[in-house]
Amino acid sequence: MEYKQLLSEYEKLKQDLDFYKQIHDYPLAMVYQMRVKTQQGKKVWVNTHTSSLEFLESLDKDEEIETLIQAHKSIQFKDRTF
């Protein structure tokens, strides 16, 4: 019984470590910009500064995601400002 429990814990820790290593896939992002969120129950990295509205809407909703979506929808750019 203890062996199976240890093996299960090892597999979970290995999956977590593999996930956290994926942060290297975002070399231009600052660590403070990155959040761990879920998409259909699976952990994903979210860059709070560069993620598209479509990507944000595909994530499982929580308070922070809802805030980011509202911020994205409220941004208005005018050609004259650039």
C-alpha 82/C-alpha 78 separation (Å) is 8
Q: How confident is the model at residue 1 (pLDDT cuts 50, 70, 90)?
A: confident
Q: Name 47's bridge partners.
A: 34
What are residue 36's DSSP bridge partners?
45
Half-sphere exposure of 76 toward its Cβ, with a 13 Å CA cutoff?
3
- Interval 30-59: pLDDT, tens: 999 999 999 999 999 999 999 999 999 999
How many whole angstroms from its chain centre is CA 6? 28
What band does 75 get if pLDDT is binned at 50, 70 and 90? Answer: confident
CB 74 within 8 A of CB 66: no
